[in-house]
Amino acid sequence: MMNNIWMMDNILDCTLFQKGIIKTDYIDNKNYKRICNTTGKLQDVSKTISEIVISPEIFLRDVIYYLYKVKPEKEDEIENKNNEKIFDTITNLEDVKEIKQQCQLNMPKTIVATYTILDKIMKEIKKDKELEEKLIQQKNDDINQIINQVKRETQKNDGNNREEDEINTKLEEIYNNVSKEIKKELQQQFEEIDTIENIINTFGKQAGKEAGIYEGLIDPDKVTKIIEYISHNNSFAYQKIKKITDLAGRMKLTYKEGRKDKVNDVAREEYKGIVLGDDLSNLLPYEVNLLKKNKKEFTVKYLNKELAVYEVETKHNIGYGPIILCIDESSSMKERMADYTKEIWAKALMMLILQRAYKQKRKFAVIQFTSHIGGITHFDPRKDNSLKILNVVLRHYNGGTNFREPIDKAIEIIKSEKVYKRADIIFITDGEDTLGREYIEKIKEEKKKHNIRFITMLIGGDSEELRQISDQYMNSDFVDEQIVSKIVKMI
């Protein structure tokens, strides 16, 4: 795999500015290179189509930006006539034009559509040896013309025209053979992308959009991560994400806000200094002017996280402090509770709480635990958290249950990190563990000393010891409107 990436990287370095069929600029080419280097399926398709097209990586770029751009423009002079013929045949198909309407300005859908269409077509071509040989010969003839610098005649003889027409007709027939399969596959994958992008729109760079700074920036790393999540090898990931987001949406409809989410009442921001980064909501004025004057330079600095931005510290009013959520990931959390597993329910509630915290600009951390701590993830409401939330949602650990480690870690974070001062600890579990009288008294002292509020949600069963250290304690064998409403109002 590493060799493939190295080869692709070197090829793209050499051909980055080579003209193809569709006009592209410096940013288009940089984004394309980064996406190709991390998307295995594009690399596989590039190898496959190399049999019938010249410079397959440039041909891929042409198809991608034809689908992505609202009004793609052709180059005035196109050197590879062979590529142009195949490109025109594919892009003139009515089905492909319809697919383009769904792909415009959506890079994940564009990438998926590109490798799906080309892969299906190539598989059909390989079944027709005669057509495959003609396409290979057509490519070789074009290469010879380029090498020998033979001036092409504007008028071709009838025999050549007939042969080209036959090839085009055959390619159209081949596409028609697999069009239903392509449409079905793309429909499913587009739905998966929509689900994941829903999370990205919720926990992504909202601040930049609200500030009206610059929409339409492509994040290549995020694009390839989305492709990875919806690939066939990771289809379980999409199903899990969809269940959690659907349930979180249903939960959100079941409760009424106990208090208004007016950001000014919740938090205020203080500027600490100037740093380099990509936080669009806190750009220095001269960076905003740079965007107006030189979009190319601005985008390069954004991609490299080299924009000058204000470093901001959020100050929370009492009752709206940071949140540390400890979520049980033990084996028993995979048990079903009504229509969902306990894990799905717990993570849907986590997303609901995180959405509220994000809206209120509250610092948020998730501690995932079993018999030990599996992972700790910090969320900054001023930054893009979309990939982080996806990773937390998909991550799961097996094992027993240990209450002490996550509780100790949560208190350690509050004591050692200023941004978590006076945080709420929310503890979600279905397990049992022994804390002991001495430990319970210790936690009570820590809570009092550091002004910590402890909220417990026990899924099934009961724990007298957790009840003793909790300011708010709930236990239930099922989820209903009253439970969801109560938890959300607490925070």
Tell me the per-residue pLDDT of 358-392, one tens digit each, with 9 for 90 and over: 878 888 999 999 999 999 999 888 777 777 888 88
pTM: 0.68
Tell me the per-residue pLDDT of 141-181, one tens digit each, with 9 for 90 and over: 777 776 665 444 444 444 456 667 777 788 888 888 888 89
**CA 491, CA 489: separation in Å to the nearest integer?**
5
**CA 377, CA 363: separation in Å to the nearest integer?**
11
Tell me what pLDDT residue 391 has. 85
Nearest alpha-carbon partner for 116 in 81, 67, 54: 67
Tell me what pLDDT residue 208 has. 38
Handedness of CA 205, 206, 212, 216 (dihedral sign): positive
Tell me what pLDDT residue 154 has. 43
Tell me what pLDDT residue 439 has. 95
Tell me the per-residue pLDDT of 307-357, one tens digit each, with 9 for 90 and over: 887 776 655 444 468 999 999 999 888 888 778 888 998 898 898 888 888
**CA 403, CA 420: separation in Å to the nearest integer?**
20
Cα→Cα distances 148→79, 236, 320, Å: 13, 53, 73
Tell me what pLDDT residue 297 has. 79
> Which two three-digit tokens encode residue 296?
């190319």
Question: Token match 């402890």: residue?
Answer: 454
Backbone φ and ψ of 330, nearest 5°: -70, 170
Question: Token match 């069929």: residue?
Answer: 21
Tell me what pLDDT residue 117 has. 93
Give strand pairing partners of 309. 275, 283
**CA 170, CA 162: separation in Å to the nearest integer?**
12
Question: Token match 């992505």: residue?
Answer: 68
Q: Please check whether residue 386 is in contact with residue 221, taking contact to mean a CB–CB distance below 8 angstroms.
A: no
**CA 276, CA 309: separation in Å to the nearest integer?**
6
Q: Please check whether residue 318 is in contact with residue 399, taking contact to mean a CB–CB distance below 8 angstroms.
A: no
- Of the CA atoms within 13 Å of residue 173, those in its CB half-sphere come to 10
Tell me what pLDDT residue 428 has. 93
Positions in the chain short of pLDDT 50: 1-14, 150-159, 206-216, 257-268, 316-319
Cβ neighbors of 40 (< 8 A, separation 6 or more) are 1, 4
What end-to-end distance do the CA atoms of the chain give, in Å? 47
Q: Where are the alpha helices (DSSP H) in 204-333?
A: 206-210, 220-230, 235-254, 263-266, 285-293, 295-303
DSSP notation for 167-215: HHHHHHHHHHHHHHHHHHHHHHHHHHHHHHHHHHHHHSSHHHHHTT---
Tell me if residue 455 falls in helix, strand or coil. Answer: strand
Handedness of CA 316, 318, 324, 325 (dihedral sign): negative
DSSP notation for 28-90: HHHHHHHHHHH-HHHHHHHHHHTTTSSSHHHHHHHHHHHHHSSS--B-SS-S-HHHHHHHHHH
- Of the CA atoms within 13 Å of residue 413, those in its CB half-sphere come to 25
